[in-house]
Structure 1
Amino acid sequence: MHRIGYLLSDGFQIMALASQTVFEMANDVSGEAFYGIENYSTAGGEVRSSLGMKIDTRAITARTQMDTWIAVGVTTPLTIAPPADVFAFLRRAAKRTRRIAGICTGAFVLAGAGLLANRRATTHWAYARDMQRLYPDVQVEEDRIFIVDGPVWTSAGMTAGLDLALAMVEKDLGADIARSVAHKLVMHQRRAGGQSQHSEMLDLAPKSDRIQNALNYARKNLNRPLTVQELAGEAHLSPRQFSRVFTLETGQSPAKAIEGLRLEAARLMIEKSRHSLETIAQETGFRDRRHMREAFMRGFGVPPQEVRREARTQT
């Protein structure tokens, strides 16, 4: 049995415990109790979440041994620090465990213990720059779902903890089991670690249904040229009205927004498929591979080849 210990401290975010369901479903799908999961704290007993919910935990002792330790984050890592003995324990545990992880701001706990020094790591985007400021020896990558650097795993915001747990299942039990678990949990896609934390559609956040409908139409038809006239028709506006209302509601021109949607779709295909870059460029509406590369450099600061290389190092 692969034993997983969740390390909690007062103020922890309850959503992080949802990732335990990934391991539960992996046991169900595989037909064996491959994972054993327990909640721990340094003192044991009840630990209170940020919501006020109390979770009973086991106390860590000198004999406590886990194959995987997962440090759970708190909602305000800059004002709530774990007990000092948590850092001492993690430093000891890192020497004798297979892997160690931090979900969301749990990365701050690992960093405080010195486990992220000279490593790549991520955390919730809202606190990534604070982490870089407080721990300059950590290579913080704020726009990642999760990062695996040797035996140390870190994830972005709370739902990314599900992606991190699913990646652990894939590492332990294979891609078929991971896909079945994702299906059982109605996870509509398994996000690669290198995938952006941000959604272009959420960032645009139009205020009216007519602009939202135009964006939904665009996303379904990225594989071909899209004109303002066509999108305006979906919104039942004249092209001039559409451009004005679109820019007012989203803060971007239609052309800029569509390029963002193309970039998001292309990046996902690059990370999750084996299609050639030329094919991906065609499928996401770029004129050719060179046009896609120019857009990647503008949008991400790196070429598509670099995104693919990084995604492959995460698997």
Structure 2
Amino acid sequence: MLRNVAVALLDGVNPFELGVVCEVFGTDRTDEGLPAYDFAVASAEGPVLRTEAGFTIRVDHGLERLESADLIAVPAGRSFDARSFPPELLDALRRGVARGARVASVCSGVFVLAAAGLLDGRRATVHWRHAEELKRQYPHLTVEPDVLYIDEGPVITSAGTAAGIDACLHLVRKEHGSEVANRIARRMVVPPHRDGGQAQYIERPVPRTGGDTVSDVLVWLQEHLDEEVTVEQLATRALMSPRTFARRFQQETGTTPYRWVLGQRVLLAQRLLEGTDETVDAIAGRTGFGTAAALRHHFVRAVGTTPNAYRRTFRGPEAA
């Protein structure tokens, strides 16, 4: 049973990500019949640490505090994707997993777990802005940038900022059941479980091409996303044979014409859901999906949530 929680801190820690773990596991709610945790923060780099926000915090415990923890949490910090970590901390994390403790990261804290080798062969997530760097540095793990958190046995990783709340509540739910997790969530005034993943928050600019052979066709496509077009029609516009056009398109965009158009239609739908009051049916027509059902199907596959839920997230419940 999860009873003892320690947070491993490094210089440059993010106050919000640290606060997430403190709020879920470090707040005494025993007056409401909720479980209490033996909670502490432990420094890997001396008693005084500077936060990313510019103020300092004093920490009473060193890494020895991790040895008794059932859960060791590592919050995000400044430049964690480009710094080295104390070997003593990495050893402590490895010992924790070896004796049966869980370890969890919030956002870029995942780089610490990866450096300790705890993610080799496992799936992991991180804030979408750090996903490519995590893949580059640690090719032996599988990075999934479109989810809020991933539970891989003793190792839990979460995406950016508030996704740490989702991961912590998931751990509470797993250990103490949904009723306890829901009551803590109500105290925090947050949803006990969020629909979708961080895919809905990822910025997706128009993909750049690796050449200019099909660039004019791409411009035309973006202006006619509501129309049904075939590869043959696009090839004629590009003055190529269909086979040559398909090959050039793949070389310059990294994908097929169908998938490129599908992605751009979803992007347009996102912009319309965020910035207009048009109905989902109207947006389905403007984006070339035809029907609300077709839009919903492709939107859920690409973004991880429904069009109406997406609109509520970005414009509030009244808009939906």
In the superposition, the TM-score normalised over structure 2's length comes to: 0.64
For the 8 Å contact 1:71–1:101, the answer to whether it is kept is yes
Could you say what secondary structure the match of 2:5 adopts? Answer: strand
- The Cα of 1:300 is off from its aligned counterpart by 6.5
Letter in 1 for 2:51: S
Select which of 112, 116, 119 maps to 1:109.
Answer: 112
Letter in 1 for 2:282: L
For the 8 Å contact 1:26–1:169, the answer to whether it is kept is no
Q: 2:4 maps to what in 1? A: 3
**C-alpha separation between the residues in 1 aligned to 2:66 and 2:135?**
34
For the 8 Å contact 1:25–1:184, the answer to whether it is kept is no
Q: 2:231 maps to what in 1? A: none
Select which of 270, 287, 305 maps to 1:255.
Answer: 287
For the 8 Å contact 2:43–2:63, the answer to whether it is kept is yes
The alignment covers a number of residue pairs equal to: 238
For the 8 Å contact 2:125–2:150, the answer to whether it is kept is yes
Letter in 1 for 2:135: Q
Matched, 1:161 2:164: yes
Matched, 1:76 2:79: yes
- The Cα of 1:35 is off from its aligned counterpart by 1.5
Specify every segment of 5 or more residues in structure 1 that has no aligned partner in the other structure, as ranges: 229-252, 260-283, 302-315
Q: CA RMSD in A?
A: 3.5
Q: 1:308 maps to what in 2? A: none
**C-alpha separation between the residues in 2 aligned to 1:295 and 1:9?**
39
* Aligned-residue identity in percent: 28
Taking a change above 3 Å as real, the CA distance of residues 145 and 63 of structure 1, as seen in their structure-2 partners, is: closer
Matched, 1:132 2:146: no
For the 8 Å contact 2:77–2:109, the answer to whether it is kept is yes
Q: 2:53 maps to what in 1? A: 51
- The Cα of 1:188 is off from its aligned counterpart by 4.3
Matched, 1:21 2:39: no
For the 8 Å contact 1:123–1:156, the answer to whether it is kept is yes
For the 8 Å contact 2:6–2:65, the answer to whether it is kept is no
**C-alpha separation between the residues in 2 aligned to 1:146 and 1:140?**
11
For the 8 Å contact 1:26–1:178, the answer to whether it is kept is no
Q: 2:293 maps to what in 1? A: 286
Letter in 1 for 2:151: V
Taking a change above 3 Å as real, the CA distance of residues 132 and 63 of structure 1, as seen in their structure-2 partners, is: closer
For the 8 Å contact 2:166–2:192, the answer to whether it is kept is no
For the 8 Å contact 2:90–2:115, the answer to whether it is kept is yes
The structure having more radius of gyration, on CA atoms, is: 2
- The Cα of 1:136 is off from its aligned counterpart by 0.4
For the 8 Å contact 2:135–2:142, the answer to whether it is kept is yes
In the superposition, the TM-score normalised over structure 1's length comes to: 0.65
**C-alpha separation between the residues in 1 aligned to 2:85 and 2:70?**
22
- The Cα of 1:293 is off from its aligned counterpart by 5.0
